[in-house]
Structure 1
Amino acid sequence: MENCEKQNFNGKEFVIGSVIGATGGALTALLLAPKSGNELRGDLNTGAAELKSRAGEWKNTAYDKGSEWKNKAAETTSRFTQKAQELTRINAG
């Protein structure tokens, strides 16, 4: 269980690092490229729109994963509750 949690945490770190790295690289490339102000602003707007779209996708993925984990936790809790009730009946009887 701990290994699974560690893998999920490492996955989150990877995604965050990728986003930061991609954003930093894109901004650096845009700022260092020899372009006019109009072209640069256009490129920045396009990049911002793409980042907004990706952030929306990541939000949806995070929401779906959170729902999956919530459902799994509810199922596990239900199973443990049933086992505890069975053991209580066995010990009482």
Structure 2
Amino acid sequence: MATETRRSGFMLGVLIGGAVGAVSSLLLAPKTGARMREDLSNRYRSAMDKTREWASAATDKTKDMANRVANRASDLMDQAEEGKQQMRDTMHTAKDAMQDRTRDMEGDRLDSGTSREADRPASRPN
């Protein structure tokens, strides 16, 4: 970001310096008034054309960067959603496995004739 700011400042300085130099050379050169006005007009149009080209290029680059950022953000959101769904699936699978195991253990206890109360240690009176 700082590099872009320096680059923009440099380009602005080049543009302003070029304009000042062009105007100075026109004003200091011995020419007729009509010729000088024509030269100034031509230089002004040329500077405006270059400025429009630079602005257009900057706009295109900005749009391109915004599109890339949006696409990357969309990809990351998709990946997060996939990860979230995988986690849900894993949790449901683990929950189902635990419930199945609990049912199996309860069935084994019932088949062996023991109950949960028999598995617990007897409480001692105080």
TM-score in same-fold range (> 0.5): yes
Task: Sort the TM-score into its range (normalised by shorter chain).
Answer: 0.7 to 0.9
**Selected match of 2:64 from 65, 68, 77:** 68
**Selected match of 1:56 from 46, 52, 58:** 52
Deviations, residues 11-66 of structure 1 (Å, cap 9, x unaligned) = 21221111111111111111122222111101101101111211221122112111
Task: State yes or no: 1:13 paired with 2:12.
Answer: no
Higher relative contact order (CA 8 A, sep 6+): 1
CA radius of gyration, larger in:
2
Runs of 4+ displaced beyond 6 Å: none
Higher helix share: 1
User: What amino acid maps onto 1:39 in structure 2?
Assistant: R
User: What amino acid maps onto 1:9 in structure 2?
Assistant: T
TM-score, normalised via structure 2 length: 0.62
User: What amino acid maps onto 1:15 in structure 2?
Assistant: M
Distance in 1 (alpha carbons) for counterparts of 2:60 and 2:30: 42
Quote the sequence identity (%).
29
- What is the SS of the residue equivalent to 1:34? coil
TM-score, normalised via structure 1 length: 0.81
Paired residue total: 89
Distance in 1 (alpha carbons) for counterparts of 2:76 and 2:2: 24
The aligned counterpart of 1:43 is: 39
Distance in 2 (alpha carbons) for counterparts of 1:65 and 1:71: 10
Structure 1 unaligned segments of length 5 or more: list them.
Answer: none
